[in-house]
Amino acid sequence: MPPRTNGDRPVTRVTLRPLGSTLPLGALALVPAGTLLAGLQLGWFPASEAPIVAYVLLGFAVPLQLVASVLAFLARDSLVGTGFAVFTGIWLAFGLTTVSGSVGETSRVLGVFFLCCAAVFLILVGGGIAGGKAAAGAVILFGAARFVLSGLYELTGSAGVEHAAGIVGLVFVAVAGYVGLATLLEDNAHRSILPIGRRGAARAAIDEGYRAQLGHALEREAGVREQL
């Protein structure tokens, strides 16, 4: 908003809209989606049911992850917003290719796509560690591991690699479920209940409250400064 004057001194006020944490929604939405994909890779479901899994991902994971991503960006958390947005794109691409492709066949294109997404996730892991958000980094790290294996399976067709991807996928589901529960409890209690590895500014934002954040240069943040 335009600056106002307070006597001879210009005063600029920035109004922020309070938002609930999007981490519980985004992390918990990964649990059913990741479980179904892991089950498909481990042989819990016959190959003929792959299109059903794809439709579930398109109808459940894609919209919820998209909402979590948009709200995370509105809350000025580019790391979480980018992570959930990439997950949204992966579920959407996997769902569409599975529905439109031949059941039981691997795809080199999808394999390269998974490996590229894993590389993006590894970049985000560095951002999570640097920003003191170990929990978000852990979800992204296990997501990267499972998509590396999924990509290798699509390229090689190896049943062993496919099963390994499913096993890592179940670990990914467990980590995402823990992070979703921990952040949900944290958001309701307004303090840390279960440890999620917050450090530095990320920990101060929860444990030390609003005053601890006043030292940051708000005018330099995206959404406040004139240019991105």
Contact 123, 164 (CB under 8 A): no
Name the phi and psi angles at 18, rounded to 5: -65, 135
Distance CA 178, CA 194 (A): 9
Q: What pLDDT, on a 0 to 100 scale, did the predictor assign at position 38?
A: 93
**pLDDT above 70 covers what percent of the chain?**
73
**3-state SS assignment for residue 128:** helix
Q: Which two tokens stand for residue 162?
A: 């496919």
Cα gap 11→171, rounded to integer Å: 51
pLDDT at 47: 84
Which range, of 36-40, 130-134, 177-181, averages the lowest pLDDT? 130-134
Please give the single-letter amino acid code of residue 130.
A
The two tokens of residue 154 are 């699509």
Residue 45 clears pLDDT 70, i.e. is over it: yes
pLDDT of residue 118: 92
Kindly give the interhelix angle for 23-42 and 134-156, rounded to the nearest 10 degrees: 30
Q: With pLDDT > 90 as the criterion, what percentage of the chain qualifies?
A: 38
What DSSP string runs through 6-28? ETTEEE----------SHHHHHH
Catalogue all structural domains in the chain, each as residue range(s) with its CATH number: 23-210 (1.25.40)
d(CA 196, CA 23): 12
Beta bridge partners of 9: 6
> Average per-residue pLDDT in the chain?
81
Encoded tokens for 36: 């179904």
Beta-bridge partners for 4: 11
pLDDT tens digits for range 63-110:
999 999 999 888 878 888 888 999 999 999 989 988 887 666 788 998
Q: How confident is the model at residue 183 (pLDDT cuts 50, 70, 90)?
A: confident
Q: Which of 88-97, 111-120, 164-173, 198-207 has the lowest mean pLDDT?
A: 198-207
- The predicted model gives 112-121 an average pLDDT of 92
Calculate Rg over the CA atoms of the chain: 20
